[in-house]
Structure 1
Amino acid sequence: MRFQEKLNESSKQEIWDEYCGFLDLTMDEYMTIQKRLLLEQIGLWSASKLGQKFLKERKIDTIEDFRKTIPITTYRDYSDILLQKNKDMLPADPVLWIQTTWEGGLNPIKVAPYTKSMLATYKKNMMACFLLATSEKKGDFDVSAKDHILYALAPLPYATGLLPVLLKEEIDIQFLPPVEEAQHLSFSERNKKGFKMGLKQGIEFFFGLGSVTYYVSKSFSSLSSGGKKGGSLKQTLTGVSLDRLIKYVKTQNECKRDGTTMAPKDLFRLKGFMCAGTDNQYYKDDLEELWGIRPMELFAGTEPTVIGTETWTRSGMYFFPDACFYEFIPEEEMEKSLADATYQPQTLLMDEVAPGEKYEIVLTVLKGGAFARYRVGDMYRCVGKTNKEDETRIPRFQYVDRIPTIIDIAGFTRITEKTIATAMDLSGLNIQDWVARKEYLDEKRPLLHIFVEMHKDSMITTAMSQQIIKEHLSIYFRYLDHDYKDLKIILGMDPMKITLVKHGTFNQFESEDAPFSRRVNPPLSEMNHFLRVVSGIREDRRF
């Protein structure tokens, strides 16, 4: 039965219990589901050729054996099989393959197989997100087949492209503009068409990367003004109903009178607002101000599917117990493994995490998935093991960021030490040394800050030359990494900042202390000491 039929034939409580009942689980009940599904997955995975690549004829029958025998894995452990889409090696037949960036221009893509059972779980958990996005209390939701959702998603083969496909199987919510049309429009054209259709039909849902939803929301002001960026106001309002037209004109006049800019909340009343990706904590307040509703954060990825969602309290994400089996690497263990690639970090299970602690997540994809004890590269902070507000008794988490060796800007980039070093080599700049850090502007927007020391015989020696270095490196970053290029094209962001330090700075730093343990996002203690050495840079710089 489709979800749309359940809306007519089932009670609200029955629907809530089916999709959101996991929120009522005790910790023991949650772990029982986790362990039962993992044992099923171990049977499928260990019998496959992919599993035997790791097991080498060894047999595992228990969860304890699984965690002792299978090392923590990364995509490189699967790439020879998955990039060839060799389905005969997999635990279950894939229905489709989802794609994303791996390492920019160095290893452009990675792909992940989705089985029929994985897609069924994805669809169920996705509907739970829709219910929770509209809820104001337990058991409460407002979803209708007459609703409309603003299109701000990347199409298939990217993971967000699954949403329209799976949603259509459950309910006739309309995308603005329609998916078939949106896929053939530029990002700017989709925004204009979506808002134009929204003025005629209404907008009840909005979902996308936090950074993308912010840019789309800000672009509404130019669209509503009728300026060059927004196109002809007359054309935008053609076909709009009289009631909506009156509201539009009244709101526009009020904004002119008050000297303010029209915001989406002035014309639309969202039922549900969902955002995913990185850096959402830096966009949520602004998005709430623009739309009059606080976004509900969820977490989904190419390899793990959709795995976590906030509730009506917006106070942390809960992980769905049937999508993946979850393990957590404590921050100290993570740092050890990043410093020594041969070190196998210890992990904790869901019932062992502690409030306030940060963890790198490790996933085993259930329902015939390919990935076992997989480092997806994301960090979370446990913010509580119970919550009186929504009466939960399972841990909830706040997304922190990618692991320190990766700089992710607005959910688009995967910048590593190798990416930066390659861009510098290709640029031909006479750079002697460098260190890079993810920082945030005063308005809390993320950026890549690179501290650069030139060779003593370099012609680039003045602070004014920082712009030259930036422009040079930006060219090669865009060449190496198409996602970096999209930051400029799609979001209008220029996320790089260059600080040119005087010759000898790195030698002075290394003579006073140990060298950087890593060139990308070094530990804060090392970076603070470096800043004390760098002339003219305050010690209290925020990272």
Structure 2
Amino acid sequence: MTFEEKLKNQEYDRIWQEYCGFLELDMDAYMGIQNRLLEEQMRLWCSSPLGKKILKGRVPGNIQEFRQIVPLTTYEDYADVLLLKREDMLPDKPIIWIQTTWEGGKHPIKVAPYTKGMLQTYKNNVLTCMLLSTSTEKGKFDVEAGDTFLYALAPLPYTTGLIPLALTDEVNIEFLPPVSEAVNMTFSERNKRGFKMGLSKGIDFFFGLGSVAYYVSLSVAALSEGSQKGSSVLKKICSMSPSMMAKYLKAKRECKRENRPLKPKDIFRLKGFLCAGTDNHCYKDDLEDLWGVRPVEVFSGTEPSCIGTETWNRNGLYFFPDACFYEFIPEEEMYKNMEDKSYTPRTVCMDEVVPGEVYEIALTVLKGGAFARYRVGDMYRCLGLTSKEDETRIPRFEYIDRIPSIIDIAGFTRISENSIKNVIELSGVEVENWVALKEFTQDKGRPFLHLYVELSPGAVVNRAVSRELLKEQLTIYFKYVDQDYQDLKRILGMDPLEVTILRCGTFAAFRRQTGKVLRHVNPSVHDVQEMVKLQGTLDGRRTY
């Protein structure tokens, strides 16, 4: 029986229990599901050529041995098999391959196989996210056949392109614009077409990266620009349904009286609002102001699929027990491993996490997935082991960011030490030393990449490179080595790079005074501040 058939039969309690029942599990029941599914996955993965390649002749007999014998892995451990799509090497037959960026300037893409079982789990968990995005309390939701869904998602082969396919099998959801049209449109064309259709049909659901959702939401202000263009207003009004026309005209009058721009909430009444990706905390307040609904955060990735969601209280992510087996690397263990690559960090399971602690997550993808004990590169803070508000008895988490060695801006970039080195070399700028930090603007708290550069003595003496010129050169080459970086400007209109030029000898002086050698990417903010104060900047700007 499909989701839509259950809706027609008004089996609301059954729907809630089937899709959201995991929220009622206690820790023992949750771990029972985790362990049972991991044991099934172990049999598939350990007997596959891919598993044998990584295990190197060792065979774990139980979960404890699996966690001891299987090393923590990264994409490099799978690349030779997955990039060639060697299906004969995998634990189960893939139905579809999903793609994403790997590392700009070094590895263009990485791909991940999705099996039949993974797709079924993905479908169920996406429906869970939709239900919870409309929920106001336990057991209450508002999803109907024929609901409209604003298409602000990347199409296949990206993971969000699976959402329309997953929902179409279960319930009639009308995407704005239709997926068959959207896949052949540019980002801008999809936005314009989607909102134009929304004016006629209304918008029930909106799902996108937090940064993209914010940018798309601002485009609604274009509706109010027609106030000085009569023909433009007439066209918009003529395309609306009578009910939407009434809302639009009423909203225009109210906005004029209040002397403010038109906002989406003045016209649309969202049932559900979902956001994914990094830096969502930078946009949630503004999105709530624009739409009148606070977005529910979900977590989904190419390798792990859809693994977590917030509830009606929007007070933390809960991980689905059937998508992956979860292990957590304590923050101090992660840093030890960053400093000493030979060090093997310990991990804890879901029933061992501690409230307030920060962890890097490691995932074993269930249902025939390829990845085992996989370091996907994301960090979470445990917010609590129970919640009185949600009436839950399982841990909930807050997404922090990518791991320190990666700078992710608004969910678009994967900037690493290697990519920055490549950019500097290609630019031809004579750089003696540098560090890069992910920072946030003081006005709106938006993320950006701040590069602190010490030029070589010759470059400074010759005055050949100014800060603006250096920034311009580096921007050009960042776009050259990283397509996603270019998309920040093309899609979101963001210029994410700020450059501060430090005086010659700054790094050496800081090292002499403190005995510290800074990591190139995301070193201690306090240490960078102290280093800048120590020597000042070449262009006389006060950074802090």
Smaller-chain TM-score range? over 0.9
Aligned to 1:127: 127
Work out the CA distance in 1 between the residues paired with 2:346 and 2:32: 22
Work out the CA distance in 1 between the residues paired with 2:230 and 2:169: 34
Aligned to 1:292: 292
Pick closer, same or farther for the CA change 1:460–1:307 going to 2, 3 Å.
farther
1:366 correspondence with 2:366: yes
Residues 418-433 of structure 1 correspond to what in structure 2 (within 5 A)?
418-433=418-433
1:469 correspondence with 2:470: yes
Work out the CA distance in 2 between the residues paired with 1:61 and 1:45: 13
Q: CA deviation at 1:243?
A: 3.1
Amino acid at match of 2:253: N
Assess if the C-alpha contact under 8 Å between 1:531 and 1:538 holds in 2. no
Instruction: Give the total of aligned pairs.
Output: 541
Amino acid at match of 1:124: N
Work out the CA distance in 2 between the residues paired with 1:514 and 1:108: 37
1:115 correspondence with 2:115: yes
Assess if the C-alpha contact under 8 Å between 1:463 and 1:500 holds in 2. no
Aligned to 2:317: 317
Q: CA deviation at 1:512?
A: 1.2
Work out the CA distance in 1 between the residues paired with 2:468 and 2:231: 33
Amino acid at match of 1:286: D
Work out the CA distance in 1 between the residues paired with 2:233 and 2:65: 65
Q: CA deviation at 1:226?
A: 2.8
Aligned to 1:513: 514
Q: CA deviation at 1:247?
A: 2.3
Aligned to 2:499: 498
Aligned to 1:385: 385
Q: CA deviation at 1:189?
A: 1.5
Q: CA deviation at 1:199?
A: 0.8
Q: Gapped runs of 5+ residues in structure 1?
A: none
Q: CA deviation at 1:463?
A: 12
Work out the CA distance in 2 between the residues paired with 1:233 and 1:209: 30
Aligned to 1:157: 157
Pick closer, same or farther for the CA change 1:167–1:461 going to 2, 3 Å.
farther
Amino acid at match of 1:509: F
Stretch of structure 1 that moved more, 229-238 or 3-12: 229-238
Secondary structure (helix, strand or coil) at the match of 2:169 reads helix
Identity across aligned pairs (percent)? Answer: 59
Aligned to 1:478: 479
Stretch of structure 1 that moved more, 180-189 or 132-141: 180-189
Work out the CA distance in 2 between the residues paired with 1:460 and 1:310: 55
Work out the CA distance in 1 between the residues paired with 2:318 and 2:500: 40
Task: Spell out, residue by residue over 1:5-46, the C-alpha distance to the aligned partner (whole angstroms, 9 max, x if none).
Answer: 110125211110000000000000000100010011000000
Assess if the C-alpha contact under 8 Å between 2:224 and 2:262 holds in 1. yes
Stretch of structure 1 that moved more, 514-523 or 347-356: 514-523
Task: Spell out, residue by residue over 1:180-233, the C-alpha distance to the aligned partner (whole angstroms, 9 max, x if none).
Answer: 111122211111111111111000000010000000001110244238999933
Residues 254-293 of structure 1 correspond to what in structure 2 (within 5 A)?
254-293=254-293
1:415 correspondence with 2:415: yes
Stretch of structure 1 that moved more, 163-172 or 509-518: 509-518
Q: CA deviation at 1:510?
A: 1.5
Task: Spell out, residue by residue over 1:253-283, the C-alpha distance to the aligned partner (whole angstroms, 9 max, x if none).
Answer: 2212321000000000000000000000111
Aligned to 2:98: 98
Work out the CA distance in 1 between the residues paired with 2:506 and 2:231: 51
TM-score normalised by L of structure 2: 0.96
Pick closer, same or farther for the CA change 1:230–1:436 going to 2, 3 Å.
farther
Aligned to 1:403: 403
Amino acid at match of 1:235: K
Q: CA deviation at 1:340?
A: 1.4
Work out the CA distance in 2 between the residues paired with 1:435 and 1:510: 14
Q: CA deviation at 1:538?
A: 10
Task: Spell out, residue by residue over 1:155-200, the C-alpha distance to the aligned partner (whole angstroms, 9 max, x if none).
Answer: 0000000001111111111010111111122211111111111111
Assess if the C-alpha contact under 8 Å between 1:436 and 1:451 holds in 2. yes
Work out the CA distance in 2 between the residues paired with 1:229 and 1:125: 45
Pick closer, same or farther for the CA change 1:334–1:227 going to 2, 3 Å.
farther
Work out the CA distance in 2 between the residues paired with 1:274 and 1:161: 15
Task: Spell out, residue by residue over 1:398-420, the C-alpha distance to the aligned partner (whole angstroms, 9 max, x if none).
Answer: 00000000000000000001100
Assess if the C-alpha contact under 8 Å between 1:438 and 1:446 holds in 2. yes
Pick closer, same or farther for the CA change 1:15–1:422 going to 2, 3 Å.
same
Task: Spell out, residue by residue over 1:126-177, the C-alpha distance to the aligned partner (whole angstroms, 9 max, x if none).
Answer: 1111110000000000001121011100000000000011111111110101
Residues 140-155 of structure 1 correspond to what in structure 2 (within 5 A)?
140-155=140-155
Assess if the C-alpha contact under 8 Å between 1:516 and 1:526 holds in 2. no
Stretch of structure 1 that moved more, 379-388 or 187-196: 187-196
Amino acid at match of 1:477: F
Aligned to 2:306: 306
Secondary structure (helix, strand or coil) at the match of 2:406 reads coil
Aligned to 1:376: 376
Secondary structure (helix, strand or coil) at the match of 2:287 reads helix
Assess if the C-alpha contact under 8 Å between 1:407 and 1:413 holds in 2. yes
Aligned to 1:436: 436
Work out the CA distance in 2 between the residues paired with 1:409 and 1:115: 31
Secondary structure (helix, strand or coil) at the match of 1:226 reads helix
Work out the CA distance in 2 between the residues paired with 1:225 and 1:179: 28
Assess if the C-alpha contact under 8 Å between 1:192 and 1:223 holds in 2. no
1:198 correspondence with 2:198: yes
Stretch of structure 1 that moved more, 228-237 or 307-316: 228-237
Secondary structure (helix, strand or coil) at the match of 1:311 reads coil
Assess if the C-alpha contact under 8 Å between 2:300 and 2:308 holds in 1. yes
Amino acid at match of 1:446: P
Pick closer, same or farther for the CA change 1:151–1:103 going to 2, 3 Å.
same
Secondary structure (helix, strand or coil) at the match of 2:132 reads helix
Work out the CA distance in 1 between the residues paired with 2:254 and 2:368: 56
Assess if the C-alpha contact under 8 Å between 1:450 and 1:497 holds in 2. yes
